[in-house]
Structure 1
Amino acid sequence: MTIRLGLGLPQMRQYDIGKDVPDVARAAERMGYESLWVFERALFPEPATQGLYGIEGLPWPDGYRSVAEPLVTLTLAAAATERAELGSSVLVAPLHVPFQLARTLATLDAASGGRVVAGFGTGWSHDEYAAASVRPFAERGAALDELIGVCRAVWGPDPVVYDGHVTRIASAVVGPKPARPIPILLAAGSGRARRRLVDHADGWLPTGVGADAVASQWRQLRELADERGRTAPIRTSLRVNARCTPATDESARRRPFHGSVDQIVADLAEYTGLGLDEILLDLQSTLRDAEELKDVAAQVYEKARAAGV
């Protein structure tokens, strides 16, 4: 079975969000990309108070200085397209008020004809949690649990009833409803996060950390699903943060998905036998503008399909 291919939408500061998001979304759909994706980065602390991903000394990418709000970006893409799914990889869910996020996603799904894919994670930035002031960082797991519960309730039949730590709905009609059940996908690295995924989510959002590592994680997740009696399939959408640059000497130590279009496609091919449903490519960070993004995206798509990806 051919892996579905998705494309990350332009959200960084070199892009004209209002003009470029609809333009790239339309072009990507014409190229054959089956889904369009956003990510969330709420702020850029300066000076940095912690390293990237919470790793001491690891600098934040300069591109994170300005990242467009993800749900606004998806709305722009939804209005410009007809078929492509509209996904988040990921929304840092605990930064959002659960009831409002559930309603926003339901409205977007209804407006787009049932194309939203809700990808959630807990994030790692203490500064973002402090700025959002919904729940403290220490409560991120519990916050995600509640948000999933609120979404399922709000998207389900009326009357909606929910009694949680932040959200309390005694009994209410809440609309509009999604056009179809919105799939919830989770980024899950730890044991507890994997259990949450197996028990409460529809799919998994791995990242391209190496084909062997992803294969091992995928095997562990399937084994856990068997142990916990899950029978529903787990949807998989691999996120690839690619940096398209002039060809890198293969005799040197090259990071996966860093290099020319041909090298990026060769890296993609390593994932074709893992049984994943989809690969989403975020190519935007090193490209100058929307025209270059569309050109590189077209090359990657054409060459990936020619290579059997």
Structure 2
Amino acid sequence: MTLRLGLGLPQMRHYTPGRDVTAVAREAEAHGFDSLWVFERTLVPEDPVDGMYGIEGRPWPESFRHIADPLVTLSQAGAVTERVRLGTSVLVAPLHAPFELARALGTLSVASGGRVVAGLGTGWSRDEYGAADADFARRGALLEETLDVCEQVWSPGLSEYEGSRTRFTPSDVGPKPSSGRVPVLLAASNTRTLERVVRRADGWAPSFTPPSVVARNRARMRELAEAAGRDPDSLSVVLRCGVNVTAKPLDGERPAHQGSVEQIVEDLAEGVAAGVDEAILDFQNSTHDAGELLDAAREVHTAVRDAGM
């Protein structure tokens, strides 16, 4: 299997929205990347209710400040590319009004020629939920409602829905994705949320997840899919990787996808063995500008392909 390679677009505050996004998007497509991806962080509270990832006392990193809007960023990339898929890994779905989000994703899909992949999750920050006036305690149910609304808005014919947050009578809503839907990936961390992947989505979108966990969850998804009468091979695993290329190999225990190019290629090979179908290489937190990001991206991409992956 050839590992699909995606690239994280520059959204952090040391990049310039627009100029850097379009430059990176054009060059990534020209060099052979398969896809371009964005993520979502809406704010950084001075006195957060939760630590990062919901872990008590864990500080939020400075890199979370001033993250450019994901859909605006993805639209900029789509306007200057023709082939690469355009994905979110991930959007925190309950922070968005479901009807407006479904229409925005559908419009972007049509405008890009059907290249959009909607990676959605529930997030972990009560502060972000508060700013969006969304109920953190109901985050799973809110994600389910978003998926319901998307199905209605994207499907041919009239759309209608009545839920706890969204209600609309039979209406003509468009533009419609040409395939009748936008592919959906879901973030998941346990059996309950993996069951949602099998029931509602086209694959799983983990971030910064070690191979042992990928392998365990991939096996669990296979079991759940077979039990539900679904082809397990129809589900993909798209892993976001924080990449930091160093001039020399790192000794001893090291974070995944950090070290020399050779070490990073080894890490990606371990991911493939665990069941990763596509790796999103995100260099933006380890590079200083778009030129440095592109240099690192080209080097790793070429090394992965030279290794036969």
* TM-score range for the pair, normalised by the shorter chain length: over 0.9
Q: Give a deviation string over 1:7-32, Cα, whole Å, max 9, x none.
A: 00000011011100010000000111
Aligned partners of 1:237 and 1:276 also within 8 Å:
yes
Instruction: Name the counterpart of 1:109.
Output: 109
| Distance in 2 separating the partners of 1:143 and 1:231 | 27
- TM-score, scaled to structure 1: 0.96
Q: Give a deviation string over 1:97-150, Cα, whole Å, max 9, x none.
A: 0000000000000000000000000000000000011x2100100000000000
Q: Give a deviation string over 1:205-236, Cα, whole Å, max 9, x none.
A: 12342212211110011111112222371122
1:88 aligns with 2:101: no
| Distance in 1 separating the partners of 2:253 and 2:29 | 34
Question: How many pairs align?
Answer: 307
| Distance in 2 separating the partners of 1:159 and 1:67 | 36
* Aligned pairs (5 A) from 1:1-150: 1-133=1-133, 135-150=134-149
| Distance in 2 separating the partners of 1:209 and 1:123 | 16
| Distance in 2 separating the partners of 1:304 and 1:202 | 25
Instruction: Name the counterpart of 2:280.
Output: 280
Aligned partners of 1:244 and 1:287 also within 8 Å:
no
Q: Give a deviation string over 1:151-181, Cα, whole Å, max 9, x none.
A: 0000002211111111111110001111322
Instruction: Name the counterpart of 1:160.
Output: 159
What secondary structure does 1:17 align onto?
coil
Instruction: Name the counterpart of 2:235.
Output: 234
Q: Give a deviation string over 1:63-107, Cα, whole Å, max 9, x none.
A: 101110000000000001000000000000000000000000000
| Distance in 2 separating the partners of 1:32 and 1:222 | 30
Shift in Å, 1:257: 1.2
Q: Give a deviation string over 1:237-262, Cα, whole Å, max 9, x none.
A: 11112233443532x22111122333
Superposition RMSD in Å: 1.3
For 1:141, the aligned partner's letter is: G
Aligned partners of 1:247 and 1:263 also within 8 Å:
no
Shift in Å, 1:274: 3.3
Q: Percent same amino acid among aligned pairs?
A: 53
- List runs of 5+ in structure 1 lacking aligned partners: none
| Distance in 2 separating the partners of 1:10 and 1:84 | 16
Give the 4+ runs in structure 1 shifted more than 6 A: none
Aligned partners of 1:9 and 1:21 also within 8 Å:
yes
| Distance in 1 separating the partners of 2:80 and 2:278 | 22
- TM-score, scaled to structure 2: 0.96
| Distance in 1 separating the partners of 2:231 and 2:218 | 16
Aligned partners of 1:93 and 1:144 also within 8 Å:
yes
Instruction: Name the counterpart of 1:175.
Output: 174
What secondary structure does 1:124 align onto?
coil
Instruction: Name the counterpart of 1:249.
Output: 250
